[in-house]
Amino acid sequence: MTEDLGLSRRSAMLAVMRALRRGRLVEPLPSRHAVPQDAADSDVLRTAIRAGSDYLVTNDRHLLALHPYEGVWIVTMAEYRRILEHQGLFA
């Protein structure tokens, strides 16, 4: 997976450590938000909404088909990398 993003193992580990430091546990709650084509993806969508996420980064086609959803940009990993590069956050 790190090769797909052009990351070294070290860069990938640093990114994971940063996410763990800055992240917070959010439990999905029952809600009206659902992924019609794949119910198993509904918890992912609900968690992103409950967390107030700006982006949901995934390569899941069912989630991507919902983009944008309730203010959450649902993008592929490659698209997110381009966004970060454009913002000067990924070199």
Question: Is the peptide bond preceding residue 36 cis, with omega within 30 degrees of 0?
Answer: no
* Greater model confidence, 5 or 11: 11
pLDDT, one tens digit per residue, over 57-79 is: 999 999 999 999 999 999 999 99
- Reply yes or no on whether the pLDDT at 5 is more than 90: no
The CA-to-CA distance between both ends of the chain, in Å, stands at 18
Domain ranges of the chain: 2-86
Asked if residue 82 lies in contact with residue 61, where contact means CB atoms within 8 angstroms, the answer is: no
- Taking the C-alpha atoms of residue 76 and residue 68, their distance in angstroms, rounded to an integer, is 12
Amino acid identity of residue 22, one-letter, is: R
pLDDT, one tens digit per residue, over 16-40 is: 888 888 877 777 677 888 999 999 9
Report residue 87's pLDDT band, with 50, 70 and 90 as the boundaries. Answer: confident
